[in-house]
Amino acid sequence: MTNSSPKDITDIISLLSKGEYTPNCATKTHLTHCTGKHDAFKVIEQLDSMSLDESGITLESLESLIKVLCDSNIKLSLSQRSHIIKSHIFFRFKVPTTVIYTIINTLGISPYKAAKPKLSHQFQTPLIQWLIAIVPYAEDNNVFTRSYGVLFHLLEYEYLRENLSQLLAITTRKQHVTEVRVRRLQEVLSKDPGSDGVRTLISLYQEYRPDLVLVHIPKSRHKRLRRGSEEYVEKLRTFRVDKDGAIEGYQGRTPGFGATKGQAISASADFTSSLSLPHAHNIQDAHQLVKKLDKIESPTSFESTLFDPTGLSLLAFVLKGSDVDFLRFDEWMVNSFEELQFMKTSQQKDFLSMIVNYVETTGDLRSSIVEEFLSNEEVVTAMPHLSDYLWDFISRITLENIDYLTIIGPLYSGLLPKMPDEWCSGYLDALTRVLTNCYRSIKTNDEGSKALIDAFQGAIRPIPTKLKSSQLNRKLALSTCRLIHTLQLAPEYVLDVDDVVLPPPLMYTLIFLDDPIVFSSVCAHLNFAKNIIKNGGNSEKVLHFTNLHNSYVVDICNLIWRNKAFDIPRSSTTAFGMTPEFTSSFTSMLPIFDSHTTFKSLFNLHHSPAFASYSADIVRALEDKDTECSTRHEGPLSLSSAQELIDDPDVKWLSISTAEDVRIEVLKELEKIGYVGVSDLLFNHMKSLLGKR
C-alpha cells in the first residue's frame, strides 16, 4: 500500500468514512491493483493492534465510529462490522442519546427510492445486539421509552424479531403495555409460532397487564434473555467496573424475569414541561422576530409547540430542530397514533388537528403519519368520523413523497367497495387533488408518473361495483368524473393508451347513470383520449384499445343522436357490452310514447332521462324567441314529429327548415349551458354534423 499506515483510531475512522480502503484486497495478487488505497483487512489488523479493550475510546470516536458502522455505503463485511463492535467499542462514559438514535434510525427497510438507503438486513443485527448490551449505560434512560413505539413497529420484520424482542423486554414498563400492542404481538406470534423472543415478550406483557393478555402463552425454551454477546457484555462490565457499578445491579435481571413488576431500565418519558411562548402582536420587525426565535429552546412538549397560537414555537422547531428532535417528534407521534383508538373523540380530533397544523405550516408529511395513521387499516375502517383528517393528509402528498401513494393506494382501493359512500367520495376527491398537483409539477416521464397512474387505475377499478351497491350514488359518480378529468392535466408523454381508455364496466355504468354532468364528462374524456390514441403507434396493444375506444364513441353516437340505440357496430359483436339477444329480451318492456317513438329512439337527447328536461326547456325557449311562432310542439320531440310541424301548412312553428336543424340548435344550446363534452363528441365524430357548429 502506498498510503501511510493509520496511527490511531481517529485515522482509521477517517479511512473508513472516506472509503480510502479496498475491501476485496485479501491477497497479494489483489494488492497490486489497489494502489493508493488501504486494504480493509490491514485496517482491521491495525485496529486490533491498538488494544482498545484496555485503553478504551473517546466519546468523539464512539460517535464517529457508530456513524461509520451505520453507513450503508461503507464497504465492510458483516464479520468486520461485528468484529469492530465486539472487540473495540469499550468506554467509561455514558452513551449519548444521539448515538442510540443513529442506530435506531438505520433499522428497518428503506423507503422506495430513498435518498439514503438503510443498512442491509444482516448488518442491522449486530447493532441491535450492541444496543441490548449498553442499555444500562445510556446517558438518558428515557431514550428507549421514547423509541419504544418505533422499535415495536419493527417487530414486523422477521430478521430483526428475536433481537428486538430482547431489547424491548429489557426496556418495557407497564405504560408500554396496551391492548393494541398485545393484539399485534399475538398476530406476530401466530405468523411465527417458533419465536422465543415474541413469546417471552408476551409473557412479560401478561405479568404487567394480566387483564389484557388472557390467552395461555407457552413458556420460552430459554430461561432468560441473552443480552447480545455475553462475552462482550462481560468484557465491557469488567472494563467499566472501576467507573460505574450500575452493571452489577443489571446482571441477570430482565424486567418480568426475576425482577419485580414495574422495574425496568428506562423511565417514563417527560413531556410535561412547557415552553415560554412569545406573542405575535409584540413583534414589530424581522430583527425582533429573529431575537424571539433565538430565545425558544428545543421542545420538551410537542403539544405546547403545536398549539402555540402565534406559530413561533413551531417555526423555531422547524428552523432549529436537530435530527434528534425530529426523531423524538416521530416517536411521540407513533406512540400517540397507537393510543388513538382509546382516546375520546374530542381528544382524537385535538391531536389530529395539531398534526394537521404542523403539516399545513411546514409542508412536511412525516412518514410516521403515513405508516401509523394513513396505512393503518384498523384505524381507517374503525373510525370513519376521522376520515376528514385522512383526506387532509393524503392531499399533501407531492412528487417528493410520492412513495406514500404506493403504500396507501392499494389499501384504499381494496376498501372502496366496503366503505360508506361518503368515505369513498372523500378518498377519490383527495386523490384527485394529489394527481392534479403532481401532474402540474411533473417534469419527466419517470418522475413518479407510474405511481400516479397505478393509484388512478387502482381507484377506478372497484367503482362500478360500488356505484351499483350504492344505487348509483350521484356524489360518488361526480367524484369519479373529477378523478378521470385529472388525466387531461398530465403531460402526454407520461400517458399510454391503456391509461386513458377506461374499462368497459366503468364506462357503461357512468353512461347509464342518467346524469347530464356525468354523461358529458365521459364524452369529454373520450374527446381527450382520441389525441393520445392517435399518437400511440401501431402495436397490437394500441390497436386493441383503439377499437375499444371507437366502440364507445359509436355506441354513444348511436344512442343519443342516430336513434340506433344498441345497434351492433360492424367492428364489434356487442353494443355497450350487451349482445343482441340480451337487448331484445327487454325491448318489449320499455314503454313507447307515440307513433313517432321507437325503442331505439328512447335514449336520444330528447328522450333520455339525462337530457330530456333540458331539451324540452331549450325547445320552449326557441319557440318563445321566434316572433313568428304561433304554436308549440306538444312533445316529446322526435325527428318525425318536428318535421310534421315544419311541413304543416296550417301552423307556424319555428323558422327552421328541417327537423335535423332543430336538433342541432338544441345541441348548440346544450353547449352554451355547459355540456361541452356532448357537443364536442357529436360535432367532431358525426359526418352529418361537420361544418354545422
Q: SS3 letters for 517-573?
A: HHHHHHHHHHHHHHHHHHCCCCCHHHHHHHHHHHHHHHHHHHHHCCCCCCCCCCCCC
Q: Which of 9-13, 102-106, 247-251, 632-636 has the lowest mean pLDDT?
A: 247-251
Q: Taken in order 596, 600, 602, 607, is the CA torsion positive or negative? A: negative
Phi then psi for 531, rounded to 5 degrees? -70, -40
What confidence score (pLDDT) does residue 555 get?
92
- Alpha-carbon distance of 394 to 455, in angstroms, equals 12
What confidence score (pLDDT) does residue 20 get?
55
pLDDT tens-digit profile of 669-685?
999 888 999 999 999 99
Domain spans of the chain?
9-212, 397-494, 503-692
What confidence score (pLDDT) does residue 221 get?
46
Q: Is the pLDDT of residue 306 over 90?
A: no
305/268: higher pLDDT? 305
What confidence score (pLDDT) does residue 681 get?
95
pLDDT tens-digit profile of 517-527?
999 999 999 99
Write the CB contacts of 69 (distance below 8 Å, at least 6 apart in sequence). 76, 81, 84, 85, 127
Q: Is the pLDDT of residue 244 over 50?
A: no
26/59: higher pLDDT? 59
pLDDT tens-digit profile of 166-185?
999 988 988 888 888 888 88
Q: Is residue 136 classed as helix, strand or coil in its secondary structure? A: helix
Write the CB contacts of 93 (distance below 8 Å, at least 6 apart in sequence). 59
**Topology (CATH) of 9-212:** 1.25.40
Q: Is residue 21 classed as helix, strand or coil in its secondary structure? A: strand
- Alpha-carbon distance of 638 to 625, in angstroms, equals 20
Could you tell me which of 354, 346, 340 has the C-alpha nearest to residue 306? 354
